[in-house]
Amino acid sequence: MRILKPMYVVAIAAITLASCSSLKNMAVPTMDTAVNATAKKGTINDEDFNHWAHADLATDSIPGMSLDKAYKFVEGKESTTVIVGVIDSGIDIEHEDLKDVLWVNTKEIPANGIDDDKNGYVDDIYGWNFLGGYGVDAPEQLEITRLYAKSKSKFEGKTAETVSAEDKAAFELFQKYEKAYNASAGTYIATMERLNQINATFDNVMKAMETDKISLESLQAFKTDDEVISAQVAGLVALYGRGATYEDFKEYYDSQAKNKSYDLEYDGRAIVGDNPEDITDLNYGNGAVIGSKDIESHGTHVSGIILANRTNDLGMKGVADNAILMSVRAVPDGDERDKDVALAIRYAVDNGAKVINMSFGKSWSPNPEWVFEAFKYAEKHDVLLVHAAGNDGKDIDVSENWPNDTADKINELCDNVLTVGAMSSNYDENIPATFSNYGQKNVDVFAPGVQIYSTVPKNEYARYNGTSMASPEVAGVAALVRSYYPELSASQVKHIIMNSGTEVDMDVLIPGKKGEKANFSTLSVSGKVLNAYNALVLADKMVNKK
């Protein structure tokens, strides 16, 4: 589950670079799932809009979760501390808004190389890193790449007529993998070809201008009789005119150039040292939960949404006020491994988490049974799992989206999983986020996921879009309910959140359907959007038998 791209990437994707050669009229392809939806500010000011997700529909004209109203409802009530596990890419636990709300394993002595608490993890002070390495990127292939690579060596060049009878089923799977891989990799290859051309354009223009720094003004002022260079300059002027810069392009270009998603030869587990196909091979990873700045922004943003310090007058306020963060690093720059997800859930459960956020997902899962068993393990230990529905604008009652809590898309295997779609701040036909997955059977509730302001590495803050942002809004409310009403089970909290949401009785634009509409109630099981105040009121009624 990746963060939707910043707006400079949208600009890069939209621009057409012209030249008299191969670059003439070349359109740069869309990079991943760009978001054009702009959140409406309604009646609140710009600073307050950073917390639009906390707003109240009645008082602010924005369909937020009524968080201030929720806190007034529980004012004066006692609360207990709730441990929230965040399974993600890495988290900047030194961030000013997170450092004081961390789970600390007090049974472990830091940096002594001994498993003091005998939980199977050495020096796990703030959580565990299942990706290996210390403060480095953890690139990985997509799952379809791994599946295709594994079967390619055996079946490449063979046909249905030449494979043995016992291999026919496996060969058919190979054909399925090959088709899916080629379809997906083809887009990336075409993207890289075009990005290489744009990079060459920058090189040509800067060489002609005899500089290694350019700006919109310098490009507009530059004159040349070379028609090719002149056309390339015009293309770059258009790029700058859309808000992008050379530095923006290089950042994106470099990230794509080192992308291992489709590299059939790459071994993403070399740094880890385990056998990813053996769920019993447990001796791997370390306590380095931060990761690198490039990828820890996702986990840091997610964490801030849930529980950024509400009392320090810095940056922002998280949803939950008496929650502490357990960081579990298991989401690489690529598709997460089923084994890592399953063990990450078990780690968080075994170490006391009562709510676990999972803002990640993929389209293929070779070992879903490992994750199903982890889900059931969490259910047995009364732990609520909150999962992002995905950003493909698809109906996941039909399309694959892993992990999930059903083997057949119909029957739930456990009753402790909430799957969350993303909504915008527009209380009209645009309320579903344009990118959000949906499903009347497999998405439980919608929550704010557009222009969400939260923590990012190095004491900074930013607005991101995605169901990755909607999921922690729900996890935060779940932690809030479990903090003030610890008597309630994970299953009860799940259904409280679903049943107490705000009803949206209107026809809305279906994500990914190009203008097609349906009643909002058909996009999820509950047909509702998250409301913290209503959740606490319902929890109070259940506990006090009102």
Report the pLDDT value the prediction gives residue 132, as an integer from 0 to 100.
80
Residue 242 lies in a domain: yes
Token pair for 151: 């079967």
- Catalytic sites, residue numbers: 88, 298, 468
Report the pLDDT value the prediction gives residue 460, as an integer from 0 to 100.
95
Report the pLDDT value the prediction gives residue 283, as an integer from 0 to 100.
87
Considering the domain architecture, whether residues 227 and 239 belong to the same structural domain is answered as: yes
- The yes-or-no verdict on residue 299 having pLDDT over 50 is yes
CB 395 within 8 A of CB 437: yes
- The yes-or-no verdict on residue 417 having pLDDT over 70 is yes
Considering the domain architecture, whether residues 233 and 252 belong to the same structural domain is answered as: yes
Report the pLDDT value the prediction gives residue 94, as an integer from 0 to 100.
95
CB 101 within 8 A of CB 325: yes
Report the pLDDT value the prediction gives residue 545, as an integer from 0 to 100.
84
- The yes-or-no verdict on residue 394 having pLDDT over 90 is yes
| Cis peptide upstream of residue 457 (ω within 30 degrees of 0) | no
Residue range 386-392: average pLDDT? 97
Q: For residue 415, which phi and psi values (nearest 5 degrees)?
A: -120, 40
Question: How far are the Cα atoms of 9, 88, 244, 294 from residue 251, in angstroms, in the given order?
Answer: 10, 22, 11, 10
Residue range 297-314: average pLDDT? 96
CATH code where residue 318 lies: 3.40.50.200
Long-range contacts made by residues 201-204, C-beta under 8 angstroms, separation at least 24?
A: 201/17, 201/19, 201/23, 201/232, 201/235, 201/236, 202/236, 202/246, 202/249, 204/228, 204/229, 204/232
Q: Which amino acid is at 546?
A: K
pLDDT-based confidence at residue 533 (cuts at 50, 70, 90): very high
Considering the domain architecture, whether residues 135 and 172 belong to the same structural domain is answered as: no
Residue range 502-520: average pLDDT? 96
Report how far residue 222's alpha carbon sits from residue 203's, in angstroms, rounded to the nearest whole number: 15
Q: Which residues contact 299 (CB under 8 A, 6 or more apart)?
A: 86, 88, 89, 90, 91, 291, 327, 329, 331
pLDDT-based confidence at residue 546 (cuts at 50, 70, 90): low
Residue range 243-269: average pLDDT? 88
pLDDT-based confidence at residue 135 (cuts at 50, 70, 90): low
Report how far residue 320's alpha carbon sits from residue 475's, in angstroms, rounded to the nearest whole number: 9
Residue 339 lies in a domain: yes
Report how far residue 314's alpha carbon sits from residue 114's, in angstroms, rounded to the nearest whole number: 36
Residue range 75-95: average pLDDT? 96
Considering the domain architecture, whether residues 95 and 219 belong to the same structural domain is answered as: no
Considering the domain architecture, whether residues 197 and 165 belong to the same structural domain is answered as: yes
Residue 2 lies in a domain: no
User: pLDDT tens digits, residue range 156-175?
Assistant: 889 999 999 999 999 999 99
Considering the domain architecture, whether residues 371 and 233 belong to the same structural domain is answered as: no
Task: Give the percent of the chain with pLDDT over 70.
Answer: 89
In order, the DSSP letters of 200-223 are HHHHHHHHHHT-S---HHHHHH--
Considering the domain architecture, whether residues 426 and 397 belong to the same structural domain is answered as: yes
- Of 2-11, 230-239, 472-481, least confident by mean pLDDT is 2-11
Last residue of a domain, one of 228, 257, 286: 257
Report the pLDDT value the prediction gives residue 293, as an integer from 0 to 100.
62
Considering the domain architecture, whether residues 394 and 330 belong to the same structural domain is answered as: yes
Report the pLDDT value the prediction gives residue 375, as an integer from 0 to 100.
98
**How many domains are contained in the chain?**
2
In order, the DSSP letters of 385-436 are EEEE--SS--BTTTS--BS-SBSSSSSBS-S-EEEEEEE-S--STT-B-TT-
Residue 57 lies in a domain: yes
Q: Which amino acid is at 415?
A: D
Residue span of the structural domain in which 243 resides: 7-34+142-257
- The yes-or-no verdict on residue 292 having pLDDT over 90 is no
pLDDT-based confidence at residue 138 (cuts at 50, 70, 90): low
Residue 265 lies in a domain: no
Residue range 506-520: average pLDDT? 97
User: pLDDT tens digits, residue range 1-30?
Assistant: 445 544 445 444 444 333 322 222 222 222
- The yes-or-no verdict on residue 405 having pLDDT over 90 is yes
Residue 416 lies in a domain: yes
Residue 266 lies in a domain: no
Considering the domain architecture, whether residues 420 and 492 belong to the same structural domain is answered as: yes
Considering the domain architecture, whether residues 132 and 280 belong to the same structural domain is answered as: yes
Report how far residue 530's alpha carbon sits from residue 502's, in angstroms, rounded to the nearest whole number: 6
Report the pLDDT value the prediction gives residue 48, as an integer from 0 to 100.
67
Last residue of a domain, one of 225, 257, 289: 257
Task: Give the percent of the chain with pLDDT over 90.
Answer: 79
Considering the domain architecture, whether residues 439 and 506 belong to the same structural domain is answered as: yes
Last residue of a domain, one of 196, 226, 257: 257
Report the pLDDT value the prediction gives residue 244, as an integer from 0 to 100.
83
Report the pLDDT value the prediction gives residue 64, as an integer from 0 to 100.
96
Considering the domain architecture, whether residues 430 and 281 belong to the same structural domain is answered as: yes
Residue 270 lies in a domain: no
The overall average pLDDT reported for the chain is: 89
Report the pLDDT value the prediction gives residue 208, as an integer from 0 to 100.
95
